[in-house]
Amino acid sequence: MLQDVLKSRPVVWMLVRRELKSRYAGSTIGGFWNLIHPIVMMAVYVVVFSQVMAARMGEGAGRLDYTVHLCSGIVMWFLFNEILGRGSGVLVENANMLKKMALPEEVLFISVYITSMLVSTISFLALILFFLAVGVPLGPEVLFVFPIMAVLGLVAVGLSMTFSVLNLLVRDVGQIVQIGLLLTFWSLPIVYLPSILPESVESLINLNPVKGYFSLTQYIFGSPESGFNPDSYWTMTLLPFLALVTGIAFLRKNRSEILDSI
């Protein structure tokens, strides 16, 4: 598989360039929309929830603690949501290309991964600069956010490989994935704080296998309410391998069905 993908490097970069160019083709400010969308969304959540959540943090909390908690988690969510959401439909979207070219399907998922990583890296760099500008004390450990982002992206790629095959065979799967992403977002302590939950609900949310990536990111940025548990390191280490192996195996096992369906 690696040999096939390496031979297809020019196609990968072509797909990445095509996506970056077409994403906001014809717009006046182009790639700046990559920053405007998350900024507006984060601003809405901060305005709506900041007073309630700041009160929950207690008197000792800083004025920016909830903003740090929210923004550091939600930028990571944008990456996971985009890779899994777009990757789940990538086989359907590129059916004509797969018909015309002897192309390993994995190339399509790699292009989605690279594109999303580039956009999310810009968002995180902008977030770091913003936090530094408003006086959030960030140390060099904040750079560990980028490998965490890369690993979470691999989890999303592996899952999207499985769902994309299912979506090609049963088109309703794409809609189910979108609903699942919405439920997953609200099952993660991004907009709200773990401390406001009943103990039984918090225990249930801790079972979410991707929660550790978000909690660790919030912890690195200095959120006092990250709720990060070091015991989740094992899950965070093994999950990308499990997701990728399962996704690649499922993709290759159903290759004949994929070619028939497109």
Work out the percent of the chain whose per-residue pLDDT is above 70.
88
Distance, CA of 9 to CA of 7 (rounded, Å): 6
Match 């988690």 to its residue by tokens: 73
Q: Residue 236 is encoded by which pair of tokens?
A: 């965070």
Q: Is the pLDDT of residue 73 over 60?
A: yes
For the beta carbon of residue 252, count every other beta carbon within 10 angstroms.
Answer: 15
* Confidence category of residue 19, pLDDT binned at 50, 70, 90: confident
Q: What domain count does the chain have?
A: 1
User: What's the chain's average pLDDT?
Assistant: 84
* Confidence category of residue 52, pLDDT binned at 50, 70, 90: low
The counts of H helices and E strands in the chain are 13, 0
Q: What is the pLDDT of residues 193-206, one digit of tens each?
A: 887 888 888 888 88
Q: Is the pLDDT of residue 169 over 80?
A: yes
For the beta carbon of residue 111, count every other beta carbon within 10 angstroms.
Answer: 24
Distance, CA of 258 to CA of 262 (rounded, Å): 6
Q: Residue 211 is encoded by which pair of tokens?
A: 């929660």
Match 């899994």 to its residue by tokens: 84
The closest alpha carbon to 153, from 181, 117, 108, belongs to: 117
Distance, CA of 15 to CA of 175 (rounded, Å): 24
Q: Residue 11 is encoded by which pair of tokens?
A: 């196609």
Of 6-20, 29-43, 182-196, 238-252, highest mean pLDDT: 238-252
Q: Residue 58 is encoded by which pair of tokens?
A: 């207690």
- Cα–Cα–Cα angle for 155, 161, 164, nearest 5°? 130
Element (H, E) at 37: helix 33-57
Distance, CA of 106 to CA of 154 (rounded, Å): 12
Enclosing domain of residue 158: 2-261
Q: What is the DSSP letter of 31?
A: G
What pTM was estimated for this model as a whole? Answer: 0.87
pLDDT score, position 236 = 92
Element (H, E) at 7: helix 2-7
Give the residue-averaged pLDDT of 80-94: 91
Q: What is the pLDDT of residues 24-51, one digit of tens each?
A: 666 666 667 767 777 787 777 777 776 6
Distance, CA of 64 to CA of 68 (rounded, Å): 6
pLDDT score, position 78 = 92
Amino acid identity, residue 49? Answer: F
pLDDT score, position 58 = 55
